[in-house]
Homo-oligomer: A and B are copies of this chain.
Amino acid sequence: MIAEPAVILTCRDKIKTFEFLRAAGIDTPQTYTPQQIASAQDLHFPLFIKPRNGSASMSVRKLDDRDDLDYFLRKIDDPIVQEFVEGVEHTLDVYVGLTGRPRCVVPRARWQVRGGEVSKGVVVKDPKIMDAGRRVVEAMGDSVRGLVTLQCIVTQQGRIRFIEINPRFGGGAPLGVAAGADYPRWLLQELLGENPQIAFDGFEDGVCMLRYDWSAFIPLGASRKPRVSPSRQPFPDFDPRPSD
């Protein structure tokens, strides 16, 4: 349930993503390679720097001035530099199923992010954002499958500027399911040869997801407990039944 390798390569490489979006006429922040930054005439700070192939907000930094830029260009391996856009980050779940065409778009505002994954979010049923997401996925062609997860920043002026395309389920997708966009059921129905009834706006507005820590406690016993070692511990075998 995944797109063709060429699509995945475009999405993993943030320069290729930028070029694809720009060529498709979709609003996206200006993005530079280190070579382009070196020869850029007038840079406006703040900027953003991130790994060209990164994910989950790994090594993403805001750059306030040239001191920051010079330091992180030295420290981050294979980086890109991006125009800094102020606004509210939104994730868009675009259901394409087996047809490869956008059939439902659920925007979710990211109120709080932890380790690159949304920890507080809310469904925002905004026709402009939904339509913008539809156009991005249509531009990708019909080789995409399942769910495509887009990220954009919505500015105070209402510009919808796309920064990420992930041709797969994202970590926050359960919020769309809770709002009534039942992707797993639709996929299973398609796989069974049925024709799921999917409305483009068939979900509830304003549903909010709050994530919190839950714990499982597992008695490994002293004999099975790994010894103290100076490196990161590998995770031992365990019985995954939660204690409560």
Q: Chain A residues in contact with chain B, CB under 8 A?
A: 67-68, 71, 74-75, 86-88, 109, 111, 114-115, 117, 119-120, 122, 124-126, 154-156, 174-175, 178, 204-226, 228-230, 232-233, 235-236, 238, 243
Do B120 and A235 touch (CB < 8 A)?
Answer: yes
Structural contact, A219 and B235, CB atoms closer than 8 A = no
Q: How far is the CB of A130 from chain B (nearest CB, A)?
A: 14
Residue on B nearest A125 in the bound complex, by CB:
B222
A-B contact pairs, 16 of them (CB 8 A): A71-B71, A87-B230, A88-B229, A88-B230, A126-B228, A154-B228, A156-B230, A206-B220, A206-B223, A207-B219, A210-B218, A211-B213, A211-B214, A211-B215, A212-B214, A212-B215
Given contacts A88-B229, A205-B222, A211-B214, 13 further A-B contacts (CB under 8 A): A67-B74, A86-B230, A88-B233, A122-B220, A175-B215, A175-B217, A206-B219, A206-B220, A206-B224, A207-B220, A208-B217, A211-B213, A213-B214
Q: Judge whether A210 and B221 touch: CB under 8 Å.
A: no
Bound-complex Cα distance A118 to B217 (A): 13
B residues near A226, Cβ cutoff 8 Å: 122
Chain multiplicity (copies):
2
Residue ID in chain B nearest A154 by CB atoms: B228
Instruction: Tell me how far the C-beta of A122 lies from the nearest C-beta in chain B, rounded to whole angstroms.
Output: 6
